[in-house]
Chain A
Amino acid sequence: MISRRHFVQAAMATSALYGASGFGNWARLAAQQVLSQEDLIGSSDFGNVTLVHITDIHAQTQPIYFREPEFNIGVGAAEGQPPHIVGEAFRAAYGIEQGSAMDYALTYNDFTSLARSYGKMGGLDRIATVVNAIRGDRPDAIVLDGGDTWQGSLPSLRTRGQDMVDLFNALGVDAMTSHWEFTLGSDRVREIVEGPLNPAFLGANIFDVDWDEPVFDDYRMFERGGTSIAVIGQAFPYMPIANPSWMFPELSFGLRRERLVEVVEEVRAAGAEVVVLLSHNGFDVDRQFARDIPGLDVILTGHTHDALPEPVQVGNTFLIASGSHGKFVSRVDLDVRDGGLQGINHRLIPIFSDVITPDPTMAGLIAETRAPFEAEMSEVIGQSSSLLFRRGNFNGTWDDVICNALISQRDAQIALSPGFRWGAAVLPGQDITREDIFNVTAMTYPNAYRTEMTGETLKLIFEDVAENIFNPDPYYQQGGDMVRIGGMGYRIDIGQPMGSRITDMTLLETGEPVEADQTYVVAGWASVNEGTEGPPIWEVVENHIREQGTVEIQPNNSVDVVGG
């Protein structure tokens, strides 16, 4: 019998024979200036079932710039393992040539100049072209959305997710799971699910608080290619902790491993020959699920925004990571015979917006959703002379802008900005439009508070957030990045236990140590507490950028990382 691993290699060799993929090819094609739509999308007749995975698009219907992380530290068993490799190590692991198209798409190095060469990525009209091309090979491909779809842009905020619901309906998505969707409020989510939503809304771990019963469908069965495929949904487990629970007070989430074991048994008993987990757990949690939960063939991962060119295999489970913001679509071909999965072929399709032709129908629908807001979004607020980006464990220059805005506009000593992983980048020399500001701030609890905190409280916050990110047990990780700070520096030792990671807290304006019993004026946004007061963060940032004219961000050395 051929092992699973052998099958993956065989599958990859096959696609190389057909000239479909092979990672070195991208670089050569790019060097020859012949990167074509056909090369990117490829073609395959492998197996008898095809999955298409899109996740964490964060309402980005337009092509954008998005820089992958410079810091993505893995702890415990995940140390040095994908997806916790960046830059040179990432290129080496996947045979990607420096400066190639895939280098630009998947790493942070030399981002600005590569962005100018290769252009923006994503765009839902380009994604529609790719999905349609895959349907050309496999008309009954199952299109799956990992969630974080209805939040992240001005139009999605103003329409309370309606634009994305309509567009993903038009894309022909079959099933989805969720996270930020619930920050629209659970009433709105129910209204959409019971109303216009076409995809099955899956979440085996979403329970009613009072009755301790599942609220939404656990799974959907698909009959394709002569077999039965179960797609089980797993919503973001730490919803009421990481986001405001008062917006969905009647719902409980959690990992609910024992529940998932039951659902897997249920779908197997119902005849599923392949079980797919459509997950918003985050990669490390999903990797542990693969070890702990028997019977999962494929996990389509989400939440942590990782993009990996190859599946990660754990036992007999294959984990797929399809990136974020519409930069990638994963095509997963499954060979299902004799009652089970016999082989898998995977292709991470990068959506180079200048190479892939927009689908005209989808482009028209997108234009309709944007039309009411076009004038408002396109207004130029200022310019940037620096690369503004967000993703990374500790700093992002967009958050430096936001923290500077909070300090200057709210007259604070210290500013806090949450460690979100969503938000598009702005290149040096680009105008900053109102749309750009909303792309890093658009959400439903935006109030910029101003309060007083003691040094002890600040340390507690940083220790607590660090424990949520760097806990060696993935089941205790929530998947954001470290809270961003302005006006204060600190040293963090990743490997220490909670309470001992954060030291040398320093108030930057004076260079004095932050004292535990002293009180500081702190401004921030995105508090999970109900009734938080203050102007919306986009107003604060807009006023700051108007005053600045041109935003310039110096390299931020205020966080000293040890043990990364």
Chain B
Amino acid sequence: MSMTRRTFTAASVAAAAAFFALPKTATAQEVQAAMDAFTGGAELGSDGITLIAPEIAENGNTVPIEVDAPGAEAIMVFAAGNPLPEVVTFNFGPAAGSQHATTRVRLAGEQEVIAIARKADGTFVSARQNVRVTIGGCGG
């Protein structure tokens, strides 16, 4: 995706506000701050992490997501267009057989879902998926 973080966040805020008239969603700075709190501002790689989320949500109130990052100590998930961007942190102990988790997320309109994994060597990798929440109703 060639959009910059700043423009994409602004667009999703506008879309979410238009759909649901939300009083406030997280600003780009708040999303970045939440991510930095997890990564300490480290560079993000992209190999070794898989994020599966629907392209178009069937129900924005309960969107299934799945993350997989072999060898990760922790995976944190962010919803960049929600009022509170931090969704969940999965911690994996040394005895964990796999570093894989699924959950359901409520999304306030179209936005990017971001997963960041902290690897055992202290490096970070991330994956993102744009999820559209639509009013739908005309396919056929």
A contact set with B: CB distance below 8 Å: 179-180, 212, 236, 238, 240-243, 245, 252-255, 258, 418-422, 460-461, 464-465, 467-468, 473, 475-476, 478-481, 483, 497-499, 526-528
- How many residues of B are counted as interface, with CB atoms below 8 angstroms from the partner's CB atoms? 21
Asked if B135 and A480 sit within 8 Å, CB to CB, the answer is no
Given A497-B11, A498-B15, answer yes or no on A255-B55 (Cβ-Cβ < 8 Å). Answer: yes
- Cα A351 to Cα B91 in complex, Å, equals 61
Q: A240-B58, A242-B140, A475-B55 are in contact. List 18 more A-B contacts (CB 8 A).
A: A179-B140, A212-B64, A241-B56, A241-B58, A241-B136, A243-B140, A252-B64, A254-B54, A254-B56, A258-B52, A418-B138, A418-B140, A419-B138, A419-B140, A420-B138, A476-B56, A479-B139, A527-B137
Give every chain A residue within 8 A of B102 (Cβ-Cβ): 212
Given A253-B58, A476-B55, A498-B15, answer yes or no on A180-B138 (Cβ-Cβ < 8 Å). Answer: no
**Interface core residue of B18, B55, B64, B135 (most chain A CB under 10 Å):** B55
- Residue pairs across A and B with Cβ atoms less than 8 A apart, 12 shown, are A238-B139, A241-B137, A241-B139, A243-B140, A420-B140, A421-B140, A476-B56, A478-B136, A478-B138, A478-B139, A498-B11, A528-B137
Our pick among A236, A252, A476 for the contact of B139 (Cβ within 8 Å) is: A236
- Cα A460 to Cα B52 in complex, Å, equals 28
> Which residue of chain A has the shortest Cβ distance to B102 in the bound complex?
A212
A-B contact count (CB 8 A): 86
Give every chain A residue within 8 A of B56 (Cβ-Cβ): 238, 241, 254, 476, 478
Give every chain A residue within 8 A of B14 (Cβ-Cβ): 499
Asked if A528 and B58 sit within 8 Å, CB to CB, the answer is no
Our pick among B11, B52, B138 for the contact of A242 (Cβ within 8 Å) is: B138
Asked if B58 and A245 sit within 8 Å, CB to CB, the answer is yes
- Cα A464 to Cα B11 in complex, Å, equals 14
Write out, one digit per residue, whether chain B residues 14-57 have a CB within 8 A of any chain A CB (1) or not (0): 11001100000000000000000000000000000000101110
Our pick among A212, A241, A245, A499 for the contact of B18 (Cβ within 8 Å) is: A499
Give every chain A residue within 8 A of B52 (Cβ-Cβ): 258
> Which residue of chain B has the shortest Cβ distance to A259 in the bound complex?
B52
Give every chain B residue within 8 A of A241 (Cβ-Cβ): 56, 58, 134, 136-137, 139
- Does B59 make an interface contact (CB < 8 A)? yes
Give every chain B residue within 8 A of A468 (Cβ-Cβ): 134, 136, 138-139
- Cα A460 to Cα B134 in complex, Å, equals 10
B contact set with A: CB distance below 8 Å: 11, 14-15, 18-19, 52, 54-56, 58-59, 64, 102, 132, 134-140
CB of A76, distance to nearest CB on chain B (Å): 13
- Cα A241 to Cα B56 in complex, Å, equals 8
Give every chain B residue within 8 A of A254 (Cβ-Cβ): 54-56, 58
Give every chain B residue within 8 A of A418 (Cβ-Cβ): 137-138, 140
Give every chain B residue within 8 A of A240 (Cβ-Cβ): 58-59
Our pick among A238, A420, A499 for the contact of B136 (Cβ within 8 Å) is: A238
Give every chain A residue within 8 A of B58 (Cβ-Cβ): 240-241, 245, 252-254
> Which residue of chain A has the shortest Cβ distance to B132 in the bound complex?
A476
The 6 lowest CB-CB distance pairs between A and B, nearest first, are: A242-B139, A241-B136, A478-B139, A420-B140, A240-B58, A480-B139
Asked if A480 and B140 sit within 8 Å, CB to CB, the answer is yes
- Cα A242 to Cα B135 in complex, Å, equals 9
Give every chain B residue within 8 A of A464 (Cβ-Cβ): 134-136
- Cα A26 to Cα B14 in complex, Å, equals 54
Given A212-B64, A476-B132, answer yes or no on A242-B137 (Cβ-Cβ < 8 Å). Answer: yes
Give every chain A residue within 8 A of B64 (Cβ-Cβ): 212, 252
> Which residue of chain A has the shortest Cβ distance to B19 in the bound complex?
A460
- Cα A96 to Cα B137 in complex, Å, equals 36
Give every chain B residue within 8 A of A473 (Cβ-Cβ): 55
> Which residue of chain B has the shortest Cβ distance to A463 in the bound complex?
B18
CB of B19, distance to nearest CB on chain A (Å): 7
- Cα A253 to Cα B102 in complex, Å, equals 17
Give every chain A residue within 8 A of B54 (Cβ-Cβ): 254-255
CB of B38, distance to nearest CB on chain A (Å): 25
Give every chain B residue within 8 A of A236 (Cβ-Cβ): 139
Given A255-B55, A258-B52, answer yes or no on A467-B139 (Cβ-Cβ < 8 Å). Answer: no
Give every chain A residue within 8 A of B18 (Cβ-Cβ): 460, 499
Give every chain B residue within 8 A of A422 (Cβ-Cβ): 140
Give every chain B residue within 8 A of A527 (Cβ-Cβ): 137
Give every chain B residue within 8 A of A475 (Cβ-Cβ): 55
- Cα A240 to Cα B134 in complex, Å, equals 11
Give every chain B residue within 8 A of A253 (Cβ-Cβ): 58
Asked if A242 and B55 sit within 8 Å, CB to CB, the answer is no
Give every chain B residue within 8 A of A481 (Cβ-Cβ): 138
**Interface core residue of B59, B64, B135, B140 (most chain A CB under 10 Å):** B140
- Cα A461 to Cα B18 in complex, Å, equals 11
